[in-house]
A = this chain, B = another copy of it.
Amino acid sequence: MPIGALVFDAYGTLFDVHSVVRRCEGLWPGKGAQLSQLWRAKQLEYTWQRSLMKRYAPFSTVTRAALAYACEALGLELTAERMEALMGEYLMLSPYPDVPDAIERCAGKKAILTNGSPDMIEPLVAHSGLKFDAVLSVDKLKTYKPAPEVYALALKKLKIPKERIGFVSSNCWDALGAKSFGFTVYWINRLGAPVERLGFTPDKTINSLLDLA
């Protein structure tokens, strides 16, 4: 069955978070990479743990909490000003170079399905100038990826059969969550990582979003 619509993850898939890493490095020279890595790891852990605890908090809250943890763990002083500077970077991330062309060339509807809360994702999409038919946030459901109800949100919006929805993510666990739900899945493996072992495999692994067209 041909793909009738594409659903994209946002952070790391469409938008490059490298500028956040660079800003971390600017604030704490020599510590940028380590801080960004721990920050990102905690950000994800908190989404999974809070979802399981049934204690949802919006992605902006979780992202701030993860930054505060990471700075404390690494002994870095986090002022309110630095917190705002780093959170501000998230609102103006650059799309990866392959994104604008890929979006334009792909036929059918295009949507974003993201953990990002509206206060984070809406300014970011507006800033990018990219056009989507829908920007869907887990915030509506108060749980995070890879819960099946999150992927169902896209299905409900697009109203075509599951298998005709192509889901694209750079996060392998997100891609496999979508596969478990029933989407046709494209894992964009920008970092050359192994496939996560969660009992599913992506339908296709791609190196560039241009491979979608």
Contacts and interface: CB of A to CB of B under 8 A. Distances in A.
Interface of A: 41, 45-46, 48-55, 57, 65-66, 68-69, 72-73, 143-148, 173, 176-177, 180, 193-194, 196-199
B196 A69 contact: yes
Contacts of A52: 48, 51-52, 143-147, 177
B57 A199 contact: yes
A65 B180 contact: no
A178 to B, nearest CB: 10
24 contacts: A41-B41, A45-B173, A46-B197, A46-B198, A48-B48, A48-B49, A48-B52, A49-B196, A50-B198, A50-B199, A51-B52, A52-B145, A52-B147, A52-B177, A53-B146, A53-B147, A53-B176, A54-B147, A55-B180, A66-B197, A68-B197, A69-B194, A69-B196, A72-B194
Max chain B CB contacts within 10 Å: which of A48, A144, A176, A180?
A48
Contacts of A193: 73
Q: Which of A49, A50, A69, A193 has the most CB of B within 10 A?
A: A49
Chain B CB count within 10 A is highest, among A72, A145, A146, A176, for: A146
A198 B55 contact: yes
A197 B65 contact: yes
Contacts of A51: 52
A199 B147 contact: no
Contact of A49 (B55, B143, B198): B198
A21 to B, nearest CB: 20
Contacts of A146: 49, 52-53
